[in-house]
């Protein structure tokens, strides 16, 4: 065991893999080259269309111990991962690693196959029951949680070689040209799949909307795709879009949003060329609404909005408040529909979005990002992976990537969740290091990281309730009391990988 | 002159909801009315008054006026409410169904007794009578003058329309006479007038129309049912920049007049005298509360030495 720079105890290896403890957000430099993959040749007259997933698995040469990937554009409506895993079992395959972009609660259907040994490891973050069972020690399956940028890095660098990528293609032709804009399972951007299409040893497009050649427009081209498999359905379109894309009506949430907007205004970043990202949560959207109003009133022409894109950003684009949108993933149908018709609403890969090891990601150009938290601590470290019960319940997403990239990373969170305080002495799990977090906004006050003395003074001048983070913590503790710390066993069940591949924290089994 | 205190927004908070009580310090309304009456079901009356006392005891950094709406004095809970919550020193009591001066006088006497018992200054606890019936409206002139503790008359349109057996509309024609009478009664007694709630939280335009109307009529503020309404009401009550500029000129002119030994002066061809100055000072105090200006008003220089 070694302590990383945040004082977290990191084992030297995890299931045979030697680990690099996290040191700081920016200094770890990559060595070597982009990982190679085999050249291929498809001659005139040869087809790519196969009758089913089983034939595709066989044609791809998938064997015991290999790694597969799917993508979470269909979110909690995705049926593809479950279909693939059932076929793997049907073929008697074992010890397969899943390196998807994210696993959602719908994928609880693969739990029996983990128990059976079909799936032996998960090389991605998990949302929902799988993480909970792993945390409790009820499921033996090592998990490595990665950021969106970190996943792209791991695949491109060869840290996680993907043997077969199964790409859910809402629109696809028989030669593998695809896009996500149209069809019964339209999801908009295919941002997470691009990296796999370019780097997996074999690429299988799976579609429920086979169109005559050529599909148009082309998001992922035929040159990257080995096989095409038609299926009855890729997912449940009602669950593809996030259900939370509405401005909050909760007065506490609205107050938090108002403070966050005041922080943005006081930061001086809200000027021509402003770039901005928010998630799809109710508070984030309320902040976006304030930002939109301020941009209108002050006639500010922004540069870009990015990340997971919602209808609110589409409206801002169409109103001329941004020059363009960079979209890795659409959060609602309005965004899906906009991508299909507006050239300024651009699809980008997770690599371009957030990979720290390329010639410059979009997050590097971000002025301001609004992020959530399940916990923060007095050093501004943020947890989004575990909750106060210690269970691994959430994926990191672009949290650490955007916090590192943006000039101003604002965490918005209610000061009390359930009956638990949001500000702790030390977060249960560090997802995003405090050195990349600038401001924490709660309804009880705003804490500004000490590195921003000017911002702190400006907010005080504007009579915004700025508090020292410890002062804020004490104020919350007066209501909630100090929670008893959780007890963990020594056994490490999951890694939290920072975007550069170093280990920022680990998840230990919860002592029940 | 009575103490200047902004009461644009008095937010109702149910007394039986810990999750909402704990948020009271955060909202920037001018005051809160913690409710033990209509918002609290019969089965929770006891629990609520204890909860409210405990909350107020812990709320030491009082950043807004705290008023408790007790149950009517002729109910079995009214006195018990007072007994419990006054110990935690709220600023005042909102008295429901204040239909006659006698009812308010009864509360006044009770408050004096409690003040003696608690050893606090006599007159510390203020009264905000709710004028919410035809009788209350008729008696409002006498009610407004019946106790020195009364800070304002609060009009309760929901109960009032119920007592008249009519519907409350969003345009409020049916309330016009009652509202004006409550305002006259209050202003004649030198106290403030607080308008009724606007119940439809989703209708912000309706709230804006009604707030504009009641501001024009002379109300000093409104009771609110949701924190989301606060900002809009403050916005409507905020003085316009022209008003602030003019008020600053008036105050400047009258101070010059004072140095010349007169109480009247001409400003841009219009006469500036006491009532004009009074209105200007009110505008500036309101502007200051809104954070629009940051100046100290020297009342002696403005009104002259006594």
Contact A255 B291 (CB under 8 A): no
Contact A249 B27 (CB under 8 A): no
- Residues of chain B with C-beta less than 8 angstroms from the C-beta of A463: 291
- Measured between CA atoms, how close is A446 to chain B, in angstroms? 12
- Measured between CA atoms, how close is A129 to chain B, in angstroms? 29
What pLDDT sits at residue A335? 93
The rounded distance, in Å, linking the Cα atoms of B231 and A257 is 13
Mean per-residue pLDDT, B94-114: 97
What are the angstrom distances between the C-alpha of A487 and each of B88, B138, B245?
A: 40, 67, 63
Residue B49 is encoded by which pair of tokens? 């008054």
- Pick from B160, B101, B150: which is nearest to B125 by CA? B150
Query: Omega before A217 cis (within 30°)?
Result: yes
Q: Which of B23, B228, B291 is closest, CB to CB, to A443? A: B23
Asked if residues B191 and B150 have their Cβ atoms less than 8 Å apart, the reply is yes
What pLDDT sits at residue B287? 87
pLDDT surpasses 70 at B2: no
DSSP state of B64: S
A positions 255-274 inside 8 Å of B (CB)? 255
The rounded distance, in Å, linking the Cα atoms of A343 and A350 is 19
Mean per-residue pLDDT, B31-39: 97
A453 exposed, middle or buried (CB, 10 Å; 0-12, 13-18, 19+)? exposed
- Residues of chain A with C-beta less than 8 angstroms from the C-beta of B22: 416, 479
Contact B58 A444 (CB under 8 A): no
Contact A252 B23 (CB under 8 A): yes
pLDDT surpasses 90 at B156: yes
The rounded distance, in Å, linking the Cα atoms of A422 and A384 is 12
Ramachandran region, residue A60 (left: φ > 0; alpha: ψ -120 to 50; beta: rest) = alpha
The rounded distance, in Å, linking the Cα atoms of A42 and A40 is 7
Contact A251 B291 (CB under 8 A): no
Q: In chain B, pLDDT over 70 holds for what percent of residues?
A: 98
Residue A420 is encoded by which pair of tokens? 């638990």
DSSP E strands: which ranges in B225-281? 265-267, 270-272
H helix or E strand, kind and range, residue B233: helix B230-237
Q: Which of A246, A247, A248, A251 to mutate to test the interface with B (most CBs of B within 10 A)?
A: A251
- Residues of chain A with C-beta less than 8 angstroms from the C-beta of B226: 251
Question: B54 CB near a chain A CB, below 8 Å?
Answer: no
Residues 6+ apart with CB under 8 A from A287: A257, A260, A261, A264, A278, A370, A410, A412
What pLDDT sits at residue A382? 98
What are the angstrom distances between the C-alpha of B49 and each of B79, B193, B219?
A: 11, 27, 30
Question: B101 CB near a chain A CB, below 8 Å?
Answer: no
- Measured between CA atoms, how close is A442 to chain B, in angstroms? 10
Q: Taking CA A385 as the corner, what is the angle to CA A382 and CA A386, rounded to the nearest 5 degrees?
A: 100
First to last CA, chain A: 24
Asked if residues A53 and A84 have their Cβ atoms less than 8 Å apart, the reply is yes
Q: What is the pLDDT of residues B212-259, one digit of tens each?
A: 999 999 999 999 999 999 999 999 999 888 999 999 999 888 888 888
The rounded distance, in Å, linking the Cα atoms of B130 and A300 is 48
Contact A252 B291 (CB under 8 A): no
The rounded distance, in Å, linking the Cα atoms of A475 and B48 is 24
- Pick from A54, A40, A37: which is nearest to A222 by CA? A40
- Residue ranges of the alpha helices (H) in B66-166? 78-85, 101-118, 134-145, 157-163
The maximal CA–CA distance of chain A, rounded, in angstroms, is: 74
Residues 6+ apart with CB under 8 A from A510: A135, A136, A137, A389, A390, A391, A486, A487, A488, A489
The band of B262, judged by pLDDT with boundaries at 50, 70 and 90, is confident
Contact A479 B27 (CB under 8 A): no
What pLDDT sits at residue B154? 98
The rounded distance, in Å, linking the Cα atoms of A181 and A374 is 33
Phi, psi (degrees; rounded to nearest 5) at A364: -65, -20
Q: Specify which residues B272 forms β-bridges with.
A: B265
Query: Cα A128 to the chain's mean position, in Å?
Result: 14
What pLDDT sits at residue B1? 39
Q: What is the pLDDT of residues A84-108, one digit of tens each?
A: 999 999 999 999 999 999 999 999 9
Q: Which of B22, B27, B291 is closest, CB to CB, to A255? A: B27
Q: Which of B22, B27, B226 is closest, CB to CB, to A479? A: B22
- The three state secondary structure string of A124-189 is CCECCHHHHHHHHCCCCCCEEECEHHHHHHHHHCCCCCCCEEEEEECEECCCCCEECCCCCCCCCC
The residue whose two tokens read 């050529």 is: A214
Contact A255 B58 (CB under 8 A): no
Question: A443 CB near a chain B CB, below 8 Å?
Answer: yes
The 3-state DSSP class for residue A83 equals helix
DSSP state of A506: E
- Measured between CA atoms, how close is A347 to chain B, in angstroms? 36
- Measured between CA atoms, how close is B89 to chain A, in angstroms? 20
Q: Specify which residues A306 forms β-bridges with.
A: A326
Question: B262 CB near a chain A CB, below 8 Å?
Answer: no
pLDDT tens for each residue of chain A, 512 residues long: 999 999 999 999 999 999 999 999 999 999 999 999 999 999 999 999 999 999 999 999 999 999 999 999 999 999 999 999 999 999 999 999 999 999 999 999 999 999 999 999 999 999 999 999 999 999 999 999 999 999 999 999 999 999 999 999 999 999 999 999 999 999 999 999 999 999 999 999 999 999 999 999 999 999 999 999 999 999 987 787 665 568 888 999 999 999 999 999 999 999 999 999 998 888 999 999 999 999 999 999 999 999 889 999 999 999 999 999 999 999 888 999 999 999 999 999 999 999 999 999 999 999 999 999 999 999 999 999 998 889 999 999 999 999 999 999 999 999 998 889 999 999 999 999 999 999 999 999 999 999 999 999 999 999 899 999 999 999 999 888 988 888 999 999 999 999 999 999 999 999 87
DSSP state of A234: S
- Pick from B159, B53, B165, B175: which is nearest to B99 by CA? B159
Find, in chain B, the residue whose alpha carbon is nearest to that of A258.
Answer: B231
ipTM: 0.80
Mean per-residue pLDDT, B125-139: 97
Q: Specify which residues A408 forms β-bridges with.
A: A368
Residue A93 is encoded by which pair of tokens? 């395959």
Contact B228 A251 (CB under 8 A): yes
- Pick from A483, A487, A486, A504: which is nearest to A495 by CA? A504
Ramachandran region, residue A34 (left: φ > 0; alpha: ψ -120 to 50; beta: rest) = beta
Angle between helices B176-188 and B134-145 (to 10 degrees): 10
The rounded distance, in Å, linking the Cα atoms of A506 and A11 is 9
């Amino acid at each position: 065991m070694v302590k990383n720079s945040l004082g977290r105890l990191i084992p030297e290896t995890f299931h045979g893999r030697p680990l690099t403890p996290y040191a700081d957000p920016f200094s770890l430099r990559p060595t070597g080259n982009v990982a190679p993959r085999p050249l291929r040749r498809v001659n005139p007259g040869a087809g790519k269309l196969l009758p089913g997933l089983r034939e595709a698995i066989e044609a791809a040469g998938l064997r015991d111990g290999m790694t597969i990937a799917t993508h979470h554009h269909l979110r909690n409506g995705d049926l593809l991962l479950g279909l693939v895993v059932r076929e793997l079992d049907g073929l008697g395959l074992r010890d397969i690693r899943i390196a998807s972009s994210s696993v959602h609660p719908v994928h609880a259907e693969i739990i029996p196959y983990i128990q059976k040994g079909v799936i032996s490891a998960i090389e991605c973050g998990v949302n929902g029951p799988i993480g909970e069972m792993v945390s409790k020690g009820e499921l033996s399956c090592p998990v490595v949680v990665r950021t969106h940028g970190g996943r792209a890095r791991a695949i491109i660098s060869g840290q996680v070689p993907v043997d077969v990528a199964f790409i859910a293609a809402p629109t696809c032709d028989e030669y593998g040209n695809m896009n996500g804009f149209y069809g019964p399972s339209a999801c908009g951007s295919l941002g997470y799949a691009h990296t796999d299409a370019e780097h997996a040893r074999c690429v299988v497009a799976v579609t429920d909307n086979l169109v005559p050649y050529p599909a148009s427009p082309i998001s992922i081209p035929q040159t990257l795709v080995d096989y095409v498999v038609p299926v009855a359905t890729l997912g449940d379109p009602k669950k593809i879009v996030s259900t939370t894309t509405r401005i909050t009506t909760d007065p506490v949430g609205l107050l938090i949003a108002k403070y966050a907007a005041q922080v943005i205004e006081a930061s001086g970043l809200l000027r021509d060329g402003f770039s901005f990202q928010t998630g799809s949560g109710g508070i984030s959207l309320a902040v976006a609404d304030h930002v939109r109003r301020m941009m209108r009133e002050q006639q500010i022409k922004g540069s870009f909005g990015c990340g997971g894109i919602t209808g609110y950003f589409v409206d801002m684009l169409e109103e001329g408040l941004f020059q363009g949108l960079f979209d890795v993933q659409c959060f609602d149908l309005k965004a899906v529909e906009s991508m299909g018709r507006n050239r300024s609403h651009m699809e980008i890969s997770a690599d371009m979005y957030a990979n720290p090891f390329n010639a410059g990601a979009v997050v590097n150009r971000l002025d301001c990002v609004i992020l959530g938290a399940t916990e923060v601590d007095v050093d501004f470290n943020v947890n989004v992976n575990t909750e106060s019960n210690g269970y691994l319940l959430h994926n990191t997403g672009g949290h650490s990537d955007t916090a590192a990239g943006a000039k101003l990373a604002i965490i918005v969170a209610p000061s009390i969740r359930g009956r638990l305080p949001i500000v702790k002495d030390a977060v249960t799990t560090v997802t995003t290091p405090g050195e990349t977090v600038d401001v924490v906004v709660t309804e009880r006050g705003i804490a500004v990281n000490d590195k921003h003395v000017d911002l702190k003074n400006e907010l005080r001048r504007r009579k915004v309730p700025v508090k020292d983070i410890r002062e804020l913590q004490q104020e919350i503790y007066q209501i909630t009391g100090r929670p008893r710390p959780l007890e963990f066993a020594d056994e490490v069940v999951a890694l939290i990988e920072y975007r550069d591949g170093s280990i920022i924290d680990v998840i230990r089994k919860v002592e029940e | 002159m009575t103490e200047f205190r902004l009461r644009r927004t008095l937010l109702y908070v149910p007394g039986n909801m810990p999750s909402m009580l704990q948020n009271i310090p955060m909202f920037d309304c001018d005051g809160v009315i913690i409710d033990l009456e209509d918002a609290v079901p019969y089965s929770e009356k006891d629990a609520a008054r204890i909860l409210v006392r405990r909350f107020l005891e812990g709320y030491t950094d009082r950043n807004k006026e705290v008023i408790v709406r007790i149950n009517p004095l002729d109910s079995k809970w009214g006195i018990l409410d007072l007994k419990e919550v006054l110990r935690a020193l709220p600023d005042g009591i909102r008295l429901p169904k204040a239909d006659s001066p006698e009812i308010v006088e009864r509360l006044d006497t009770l408050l004096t007794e409690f003040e003696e018992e608690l050893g606090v200054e006599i007159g510390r606890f203020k009264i905000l009578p709710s004028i919410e019936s035809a009788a209350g409206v008729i008696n409002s002139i006498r009610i407004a003058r019946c106790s020195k503790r009364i800070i304002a008359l609060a009009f309760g349109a929901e109960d009032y329309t119920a007592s008249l057996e009519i519907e409350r509309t969003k345009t409020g024609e049916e309330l016009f006479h009652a509202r004006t009478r409550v305002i006259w009664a209050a202003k004649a007694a030198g106290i403030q007038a607080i308008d009724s709630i606007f119940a439809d939280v989703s209708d912000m335009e309706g709230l804006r129309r009604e707030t504009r109307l009641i501001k024009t009529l002379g109300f000093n503020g409104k009771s609110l049912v949701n924190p989301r309404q606060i900002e809009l009401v403050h916005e409507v009550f905020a003085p316009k920049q022209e008003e602030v500029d003019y008020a600053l000129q008036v105050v400047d002119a009258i101070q010059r007049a004072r140095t010349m030994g007169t109480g009247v002066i001409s400003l841009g061809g219009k006469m500036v005298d006491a009532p004009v100055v009074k209105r200007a000072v009110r505008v500036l105090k309101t502007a200051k509360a809104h954070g629009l200006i940051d100046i100290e008003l020297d009342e002696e220089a403005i009104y002259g030495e006594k």
